[in-house]
Amino acid sequence: MGVCKEQPGVRVALTGNESLARGALEAGVAYAASYPGSPTAEVLGTLAKVAGQFNLYVEWSVNEKVAMEGAAAASFTGLRSLVVMKADGLNVALDFAGALAISGTRGGMVILVGDDPAAHSSVREEDSRNLCKALHLPILEPSSVQEAKDMTREAFALSEQLKLPVVVRCVTRVCHASGDVKLEEIARPERRPVFGRHDRVITFSIRMHAQLEQKLSRAVDAAGDSAFNSYTGPSEAARLVIASGPSVMYALEALDMLGLSGSVGVLKLGTTWPLPEKLLLSYLETASAVVFAEEVEPFVEDNVMALAAGHWSELGGVRFYGKRSGHVAGPAGAGIGELDPDVLADALAKIFDVPRADPLLLTSLEAEAMLGEKMPDRELALCAGCPHRASFWAIRTALELDGREGIVLGDIGCYTLGIVRTGYYLLQTMHCMGAGVGIAGGLGKLDRFGFNKPVITVVGDSTFYHAAVPALVNARYNRANFLCVVLDNETTAMTGHQPHPGRRTTATGEPADTVPMEDIIRGLNIPYAISDPYNVDATVNAVCEMLEQSGPRVLILRRTCALAAVKGKRKNRVYVDWDKCIGDACGCGRFCSKVFACPANIWDAEHGKARIDEAVCNGCGVCATLCPQQAIVVEGTVE
Amino acid sequence: MSAFREPLNIIITGVGGQGNVLASQVISVAAVEAGYRVVVGETFGVSQRGGSVMSHVRISRDKAYGPLIPRGRAGVIAGFEPLETLRVMVKYANPDTVMIMNDRPNYPLGCLLGEDKYPDPHRIEETIRKIVARVHCLSATELAKEAGSPLAANMVMTGALVGSGLLPFGREYFTKAIELLFKDSVRDLNLAAFELGHRRVAG
């Protein structure tokens, strides 16, 4: 494994997330905690794998706030600690993060936040830098896989120097990139946590706010000296690009494509908050045109323009181009979506009035004309054999039988696909972890105003522990009327099968003191039932029965994630018996492929019969139990 | 071995679940083992399968590049699925791009539901041949079954990519990468699949 290679100077292939983990190892991290979220989900898993080798404490926490509180505790004793989350997770941890900035830290503490420009796997394109600025926390932004490691290592030192947590803000294109990384030595500090009876780390607002501002002005000086800020290009450039994150690489390539490398300079900012003011002013003095390249919001852009406004008399006639001016914009508009070399090349060609030689051959429309057909889009789908598909089918069927137009709410996880076709458009709300349960609690109190529809909320097992429990406590206390269906696939499937308190193992694979969700639900005095979603009839019955009840109640639909279940095992062979399948004559409306919509069930147009794609099928056999002709055969045994 | 263009831009495309990420990982580990600089940009994170996925792999002698290939600048496109091969070609190919494609369709939901029609894979191949000079079309999924499992189609495609002779370093670095990344029977399956793909294109 490249992550724990000991030879300094050697180059190994690492993913961005492994590189971030390696940076923490090189800094001598002792304590790491996280709740899994894309794009940073693999950082903690990487550290967990080497925890024994380097004597680290590594945990999957129940949510990001708890993770940050634990990491802060380690820092208070002088140890170096890391907490990892995605942008949405920083929102969860925000309350504590704000207090922690005031109290300060001791041992170096790094908050690694993964932002997801273009929302590849998020509900929104949040730019966490605006929050970090509000929190008064310094931000480092890696632009490459190599820098992901180098910056993480340095962030610990900076944190210790400032006695303040330091944020490493990494975007998807760095976290999920991989490349060759030059290693440095892994630190093995002697670890003796110290926190005595008289040690205090407190927030005491007025005096400590002043101290926090002083720490930030020291951070401005540190940013000015930082090697992570660098310049490439002609000296005293009149035309300048200020870039951060992977946009640095895109800008360099775009200038190269346009033949502008020799005449336009690129100022790379690695310390995006607080800004290295003197450094920036020295470049702004000679520049007459400045272009900003960053993701997602115009964060550096706004702050540099504010800095420039304060020095307007010295700077004279510099013009700023970016998101505010509308020049740096992708197809969806300025400040929306990711940048890439093409977006920047288009912008720079326009701003500096140079031609864009584009080897692009043809458009999709032209390709479709040559093909003589349309290229169909490809939507996301629940995996073949996904227990959630069976659960959604059962809920949908139960609601039809119930006939009262019940409402279905949801939140974040694989089951979010319940908002689209693959989940039969069942889910009517989707906001953040656990929000469905809280919203169900609100709807469940509206009977006095005449709202009488049954309310169902679905929540995943990991989300149950993360954010559903307080909402369920509230529902019990206030007697809200709804059915909470826990889609328990026994893992955090969305982010790569991380364990949670319902599992028997910890992050490092040690046996866990499992906290069964049944115990929690029982403790809340909430009635519950358990069903296997693969057993569709029984599940439909269970949903129907529980819809008849009142007050808060929970139905656990438990079946291991189809991807995890077949790992290393022989799967059942499922096939269509063409003697029994009578195709469209059946009247089932091509149930298996078109209605149930499992991607392994395909329609053989040539023969007018259903077929199963063995490369896709997971062998669950649920379609076999639903086929009206019993034409689907399962070879082997479905447990 | 053909002339190496700096950087060598490789795009791997297909459908979630086809092992796209692993294939790009094998290439990047092999490149580093061979002493080259490499950067891979992936799209993953939504664990659900069935969506379009794409990896950008950029190999260079000594320069660091960003993780995204500009449009029209792919040197090779390895398409694990016909429709995705065409979709990606439209944005990233130029007349010199080498196309390596698996002929086996993976039907989008809209096609399963009978709302969309999946284009004839032969027409897709013909269209691609009209646009670029060199196309290798192979039955990677069938070859993978021969090696032991249809799921190893990604290694058949990786073998085909190496067999095309476009990479600046030899296949031994790939067998080394496969041996580093996989264990036991999975390693043997992947090595066998890689061989079949390599032989299919290199002859």
Q: Which of these, A550, A557, A561, A579, lies nearest to A618 by C-alpha position?
A: A561
Displacement of CA A308 from its chain's centroid (Å): 35
Per-residue three-class SS string for A227-287: CCCEEECCCCCCEEEEECCCHHHHHHHHHHHHCCCCCEEEEECCEEECCCHHHHHHHHHHC
Q: What is the pLDDT of residues A482-516, one digit of tens each?
A: 999 999 999 999 898 999 999 999 999 999 999 99
Cβ of A121 under 8 Å from any chain B Cβ?
Answer: yes
pLDDT above 60 (res A639):
no
Return the SS3 of A513. Answer: coil
Interface test with A, best of B24, B32, B54, B104 (most A CBs within 10 A): B32
Cβ of A599 under 8 Å from any chain B Cβ?
Answer: yes
Out of A38, A116, A180, name the one closest to residue B38 (CB): A180
Whether residues B73 and A359 touch (CB distance < 8 A) is answered with yes
Residue A578 CB: number of other CB atoms within 10 A? 15
Q: Of chain A residues 76-95, which have a CB less than 8 A from chain B?
A: none
Give B142 to chain A, closest Cα distance, Å: 10
Cα–Cα distances in Å, from A393 out to A397, A545, A601, B78? 6, 16, 15, 37
Residue A98 CB: number of other CB atoms within 10 A? 15
Say what the pLDDT of residue B61 is: 94
Whether residues A376 and B110 touch (CB distance < 8 A) is answered with yes
d(CA A275, CA A280) in angstroms, rounded, equals 8
Nearest chain A residue to B55 by CA distance is A177
Say what the pLDDT of residue B46 is: 57
Instruction: Give the residue-averaged pLDDT of A91-96.
Output: 97
pLDDT band at A189 (very low <50, low <70, confident <90, very high): very high
Out of B31, B37, B90, name the one closest to residue A362 (CB): B90
pLDDT, one tens digit for every residue, chain B (203 residues):
445 778 999 999 999 888 999 999 999 999 999 999 999 998 754 545 678 889 999 999 999 999 999 999 999 999 999 999 999 999 999 999 999 999 999 999 889 888 899 999 999 999 999 999 899 999 999 999 999 999 999 999 999 999 999 999 999 999 999 999 999 999 999 999 999 999 999 97
Whether residues A252 and B71 touch (CB distance < 8 A) is answered with no
Q: Which residue has the tokens 């400032």?
A: A162
Q: Which of these, B163, B165, B172, B145, lies nearest to B201 by C-alpha position?
A: B163
Q: What is the pLDDT of residues A219-240, one digit of tens each?
A: 999 999 999 999 999 999 999 9
Give B162 to chain A, closest Cα distance, Å: 19
Pairing of strands A573-576, A632-635: antiparallel
d(CA A412, CA A436) in angstroms, rounded, equals 9
How large a percentage of chain A has pLDDT more than 70?
99
Per-residue tokens: A48:
């967990």
Residue pair A178/A61 in contact by the 8 Å Cβ criterion:
no
A73 Cβ neighbours under 8 A, 6+ residues apart: none
A356 Cβ neighbours under 8 A, 6+ residues apart: A257, A258, A345, A346, A349
Say what the pLDDT of residue A121 is: 86
Cβ of A383 under 8 Å from any chain B Cβ?
Answer: yes
Say what the pLDDT of residue A551 is: 97
pLDDT above 50 (res A281):
yes
Say what the pLDDT of residue A630 is: 95
pLDDT band at A260 (very low <50, low <70, confident <90, very high): very high
Q: What is the pLDDT of residues A51-66, one digit of tens each?
A: 999 999 999 999 999 9
The torsion of the CA quartet A517, A521, A522, A528, rounded to 10 degrees, works out to -100
Point out the least confidently predicted range of A104-118, A190-204, A449-463: A190-204
Instruction: Give the residue-averaged pLDDT of A251-256.
Output: 97
Whether residues A367 and B111 touch (CB distance < 8 A) is answered with no
Per-residue three-class SS string for chain B: CCCCCCCEEEEEEEECCCCHHHHHHHHHHHHHHCCCEEEEEECCCCCCCCCEEEEEEEEECCCCCCCCCCCCCCCEEEECCHHHHHHHHHHHCCCCCEEEEECCCCCCHHHHCCCCCCCCHHHHHHHHHHHCCEEEEECHHHHHHHHCCHHHHHHHHHHHHHHCCCCCCCCHHHHHHHHHHCCHHHHHHHHHHHHHHHHHHHC
Residue pair A122/A172 in contact by the 8 Å Cβ criterion:
no
d(CA A151, CA B145) in angstroms, rounded, equals 45
ipTM, two decimals: 0.94
Can you give the C-alpha Rg of chain A in angstroms? 27
Out of B17, B66, B95, name the one closest to residue A341 (CB): B66
Interface test with A, best of B90, B123, B143 (most A CBs within 10 A): B90
Task: Report phi then psi at A252, rounded to 5.
Answer: -60, -45
Whether residues B109 and A379 touch (CB distance < 8 A) is answered with yes
Whether residues B38 and A360 touch (CB distance < 8 A) is answered with no
A208 Cβ neighbours under 8 A, 6+ residues apart: A102, A103, A104
Pairwise pLDDT comparison (B114 vs A50), residue with the higher score: A50
Terminal-to-terminal C-alpha distance of chain B? 14
Whether residues A616 and B106 touch (CB distance < 8 A) is answered with yes
Global pTM reads: 0.95
B115 Cβ neighbours under 8 A, 6+ residues apart: none
Say what the pLDDT of residue A605 is: 86
Residue pair A133/A273 in contact by the 8 Å Cβ criterion:
yes
**What's chain A's average pLDDT?**
95
Give A182 to chain B, closest Cα distance, Å: 11
Sheet holding A57-60, edge to edge: A57-60, A31-34, A81-86, A109-115, A166-171, A139-140, A271-273
Give A370 to chain B, closest Cα distance, Å: 6
Cα–Cα distances in Å, from A282 out to A13, A275, A395, B46? 37, 13, 64, 43
d(CA B63, CA B36) in angstroms, rounded, equals 9
DSSP string, A177-192: EEEEEE--PPP-----
Q: Is the C-alpha dihedral spanning A488, A491, A495, A499 positive or negative?
A: positive
Give, as one character, the DSSP assignment of residue A598: -
Residue A311 CB: number of other CB atoms within 10 A? 13
d(CA A614, CA B149) in angstroms, rounded, equals 10
Give A361 to chain B, closest Cα distance, Å: 6
Q: What residues of chain A lie within 8 A of the CB of B70, using their CB?
A: 253-254, 257, 340-342, 345
Give A302 to chain B, closest Cα distance, Å: 25
Q: What residues of chain B lie within 8 A of the CB of A173, using their CB?
A: 41, 66-68
Say what the pLDDT of residue B1 is: 43
Q: What residues of chain A lie within 8 A of the CB of B151, using their CB?
A: 615
Cα–Cα distances in Å, from A470 out to A92, A441, A459, A466? 13, 11, 13, 9
Per-residue tokens: B90:
């439209």
Q: Of chain A residues 554-573, which have a CB less than 8 A from chain B?
A: 563
d(CA B2, CA A375) in angstroms, rounded, equals 33
d(CA A116, CA A121) in angstroms, rounded, equals 7
Interface test with A, best of B18, B33, B39, B117 (most A CBs within 10 A): B39
Q: Which of these, B12, B26, B57, B21, lies nearest to B187 by C-alpha position?
A: B26
Q: What residues of chain B lie within 8 A of the CB of A145, using their CB?
A: 39
Give B1 to chain A, closest Cα distance, Å: 23
Task: Report phi then psi at B51, rounded to 5.
Answer: -85, 165
Per-residue tokens: A266:
């690129």
